[in-house]
Amino acid sequence: MKKLALQHGLDWLIATFAAIAILAVLQTFIIGKHFIIPTIILIIAVFLGNLAWYGFKQAKWAQYLNFWCGFILTNHCFYALFWAKKYREILGSAFEPVAVVVTLLLFTLTWFYASKNQLFRCNK
């Protein structure tokens, strides 16, 4: 039950992205009949899977990388609020509420991840 705490929020998010990448590898290889593209996607899946695994194991280097991934993803969503065209076309009038909620959720998740794992605590 300890793995479901906010302390591991970004670890779960990164693990979800790794699982999606694995599914993309299978889809591209089996259904798409491509043989080169899945290897690149597999590299991404392995990288993200290792980040999640070592984040769960409390390795500080992985936690810092997961934090910065969360930080960059939060910034991506924040900037999309103002300049995204494709997302706005896809979601239509629901874009603003969805984008604001996703941005706030990512911000909260990233904030709690850093604070619960004491990533930027000053040693006095």
Any idea what DSSP says for residue 4?
Answer: G
Residue 124 lies in a domain: no
Residue 72 located in a structural domain: yes
The SS3 assignment for 71 reads helix
Q: How many domains does the chain have?
A: 1
Phi–psi pair at 117, nearest 5 degrees: -95, 5
pTM of this structure: 0.85
Query: 49 falls in which pLDDT band (50, 70, 90)?
Result: very high
Range of the domain at 95: 2-116
Q: In this structure, is residue 123 part of a structural domain?
A: no
Domain-located, residue 79:
yes
Q: Is the pLDDT of residue 3 over 70?
A: no
Give the closest residue to 45 by CA, choosing from 18, 24, 26: 18
**Whether the predicted pLDDT of 95 surpasses 60:** yes
Tokens in use for 32?
């798409």
